[in-house]
Amino acid sequence: MVYGVAHDFSIAMGHDDSTKLPSNSKMNTFIESVLVQADYKPERLLQMLRAVQAQYLHIPQMAIEQLAAALHIPRTQIIAVAEFYSFLHLTPQGRYDIHISDSITDRMLGKEKLLNYLAEKLKVKVGQVRADGLVSLNNTSCTGMCDQGPAGLVNGYALTRLDHSRIDVIVQLIEQQAPLSDWPAEFFAVDEPIRKPGLLLNQPFNSGAALAATFARGLAETLAEVDSSNLRGRGGAGFKTALKWRTCSVQAATPHYVICNADEGEPGTFKDRMLLDLYADQIFEGMTLCAAIIGSDQGLLYLRAEYLFLYEQLQRVLQRRRESGLLGRNILGRDGFDFDIEIRMGAGAYICGEASAQIESLEGKPGIPRVKPPNSVICGYQRKPTVVDNVETFFAATHIAIQGGQWFAEVGTPQSTGSKLLSISGDCARPGIYEYPFGTPIEDILRDCGADDVMGVQVGGPSGTFISSRELQRRIAFEDLSTAGSFIVFNSSRNIFDIVQNFTDFFAHESCGFCTPCRVGTTLLKNQLQKIVEGNGAAVDLEELSELCLIVKNNSHCGLGDSAANPILSTLASHPELYLNQLKQSSFTPGFDLDATLAVARRMAQRDDDAAHLSQVEN
């Protein structure tokens, strides 16, 4: 399967001439091969479009026509998908398509200067394709490398630890049209710094152990263990896992599906990257035991596009499990228990981390969250009962199946049992992965990661909460600070507005646009915040900003809109004086500068006396 591949890593970048002037028959043949590989299943549309994008650097009109006809779907669906996802395009991108991660942590590491330097060296503007078609350069939302940024992507593959000298080499390699396989391997190296392993990361594991324990104990008994563990979803929402699995298992409609949500898009989160990189076997085992419990024979792993570098190795893990009888037919010799897992790639859309949007995406559509009820556990993938769980949830379930619920429930707090993986980045000496029992205070975590002079911490990413230095006794727990794992530290040299603007822009960029308050409101928020930060806001603008926050929060369709105003709301609460200081002291702010507009007239009349100036506001 080529779906995991953006531009083929091994093939020289000098594509065949098909990238310039695709000959009809050549493209027909290619699209046909893509269709065959996807078994003509329209739900694999995203995968097919990824392959087309990699081959032709965009989705050509001819491809749209051919795919629409072959899949019996309207071309509008294909265009809608191509326009929805950041890494699909209707116009050709560069043969080297570069994206630089625009997470706040990348910015703190000097990303803006590096981006400008890169643009200058490559002679291409950000957001554009160079005239010769060799290279295109863009910003992109957090690529999940906050512990080793500034980061980026080239043809979908992760670049880490960018600096001026690396950029010099990259520019050279691009101008020489060197294939990515000839680029220095260290440019693509992804470290997995596990700084503090705990309950789960310290557990030894043998492939099949959790399944064997599950079968030995019994399915209902194992579900009871998951229940008594009080495991709650690690994606942030904290829904009780056993309840989700039990609800799914009793649904009469068949088949049932297991989906592993590996669309870790919350800026500042990278713990799933580490789990998929180092603990994939345990994640797949968690999915498999879930399948046994809910009665499913098909699992899907939705891998975010930014983690393309993991695709091949994950396929190898799946293959090993098939060869060991841990996937496929009659798993572990258990008659009639068939289950397999397919990896599907995203294509750049934060919203697809939301379970129902992810299901839409897995069905080959734009990732627009569904109307609830019904919940996806009742009516999910292909309108069938579906369990969607986070990577870390399956990882924990694997060990609960082996060790039992009590073992897990003894750690943490009564409402938040077990441990939580945190992705720690920002202003600290030791960024990386930390595992803590739930209930751990922020100040302990800051001490461990070597953070001093702390101004604040963003817990849970942009959609989470900004914690000021006065609130460091608060704890990581569903009942206090709920988080999917993003933990960004800011020291006192940081400007809060840089942070809040970065987050607010992020939500405006990632809003799916389905509902009015989020589609229009997130852009209004971005503009209103900018007006105040740039010193053009009056007192009324601050009131307006607060009101707008609540309208977006209270009326939006899904969690994105619900949390899009959080960065402004939480900093307005913790640092009101900062906002007040930005305000103009005048009660009236004209919409345009009359005096500046008269400059042309003054020049023409060749006068610059007092009477040639007009002021709109009395000083």
Partner 1 sequence: MSGTLCIDGIAVPFSDGQTIIEAARTAGVYIPYLCHRPGYAPYGSCKLCTVKVNGRTNTACTLPAADGQTVISNSPDLQHDRQRITQMLFVEGNHFCPSCEKSGNCQLQAVAYHQNMLDNHYPHFYAQRELDASHPDILIDHDRCIFCNLCVRASKEKDGKEVFGIAGRGIHKRLIVNSPTGKLKDSDISVDDEAAHVCPTGAILVKRSAYLAPIGERIYDHHPISEVACERAVLEAGAATGYPSCDQTKLPQNGGPDSHYAATMPPAPDIKHGR
Work out which of 20, 26, 41, 75 binds partner 1, going by CB under 8 A: 75
- Residue 237 is a binding residue for partner 1 (CB under 8 A): no
Q: Which helix (H) or strand (E) holds 162?
A: none
State the number of binding residues for partner 1 (CB under 8 A). 37
Work out which of 2, 11, 70, 80 binds partner 1, going by CB under 8 A: 80
Residue with tokens 């680029």: 183
- Residue 520 is a binding residue for partner 1 (CB under 8 A): yes
- Residue 540 is a binding residue for partner 1 (CB under 8 A): no
- Residue 83 is a binding residue for partner 1 (CB under 8 A): yes
Shortest Cβ 234–partner 1 spacing (Å) = 25
Shortest Cβ 65–partner 1 spacing (Å) = 7
Nearer to partner 1, 348 or 567 (CB): 348
The token pair at 551 is: 């309208």
Nearer to partner 1, 286 or 380 (CB): 380
- Residue 505 is a binding residue for partner 1 (CB under 8 A): no
The token pair at 385 is: 């009962």
Q: CB-based contacts of 16: which residues, under 8 Å, 6+ apart?
A: none
- Report d(CA 432, CA 213) in Å as an integer: 32
Nearer to partner 1, 124 or 512 (CB): 512
Nearer to partner 1, 43 or 277 (CB): 43
Residues 542-581 contacting partner 1, CB under 8 A: 547, 551, 554-557
Pairing status of strand 135-140 against strand 96-101: parallel
- Residue 593 is a binding residue for partner 1 (CB under 8 A): no
For residue 502, give Cα distances in angstroms to 108, 116, 313, 372, 529.
Answer: 11, 17, 33, 30, 11
3-class SS string, 340-372: EEEEEECCCCHHHHCHHHHHHHHCCCCCCCCCC
Nearer to partner 1, 228 or 555 (CB): 555
Residue with tokens 């495991």: 231
- Report d(CA 210, CA 326) in Å as an integer: 11
* Residue 58: CB atoms within 10 Å: 18
Q: Name the segment binding partner 1 (CB under 8 A); options: 115-123, 399-407, 503-511, 603-611.
A: 503-511
Nearer to partner 1, 413 or 556 (CB): 556
Sign of torsion over alpha carbons 53, 57, 63, 68: positive
Is residue 141 a contact partner of residue 86, using CB atoms and an 8 Å limit?
yes
Q: Whole-angstrom distance between the N-terminal and C-terminal Cα of the chain?
A: 70
- Residue 240 is a binding residue for partner 1 (CB under 8 A): no
Q: Name the segment binding partner 1 (CB under 8 A); options: 292-300, 388-396, 510-518, 592-600.
A: 510-518
- Residue 269 is a binding residue for partner 1 (CB under 8 A): no
Nearer to partner 1, 321 or 557 (CB): 557
- Report d(CA 363, CA 354) in Å as an integer: 14
Site mask, partner 1, residues 55-74, x = CB under 8 A? ----------x--------x
Shortest Cβ 551–partner 1 spacing (Å) = 5
Opening angle at CA 443, ends 437 and 448, nearest 5: 70
- Residue 349 is a binding residue for partner 1 (CB under 8 A): yes
Q: CB-based contacts of 392: which residues, under 8 Å, 6+ apart?
A: 234, 235, 271, 272, 275, 421, 485
Is residue 157 a contact partner of residue 165, using CB atoms and an 8 Å limit?
no
Shortest Cβ 126–partner 1 spacing (Å) = 18
Nearer to partner 1, 81 or 377 (CB): 81
Shortest Cβ 548–partner 1 spacing (Å) = 8
- Report d(CA 54, CA 6) in Å as an integer: 5
Nearer to partner 1, 306 or 510 (CB): 510
- Residue 404 is a binding residue for partner 1 (CB under 8 A): no
Residues 84-103 contacting partner 1, CB under 8 A: 84
DSSP calls for 41-102: -GGGHHHHHHHHHHHHSS--HHHHHHHHHHHT--HHHHHHHHHHSTT--SS---SEEEEEE-
- Residue 163 is a binding residue for partner 1 (CB under 8 A): no
- Residue 527 is a binding residue for partner 1 (CB under 8 A): yes
- Report d(CA 348, CA 82) in Å as an integer: 11
Nearer to partner 1, 104 or 545 (CB): 545
- Report d(CA 392, CA 209) in Å as an integer: 18
Shortest Cβ 534–partner 1 spacing (Å) = 14
Shortest Cβ 497–partner 1 spacing (Å) = 20
Q: Name the segment binding partner 1 (CB under 8 A); options: 44-52, 80-88, 258-266, 458-466.
A: 80-88
Which parts of this chain interact with partner 1 (CB under 8 A)? 65, 74-77, 79-80, 82-84, 349, 366, 371, 373, 508-517, 519-524, 527, 547, 551, 554-557
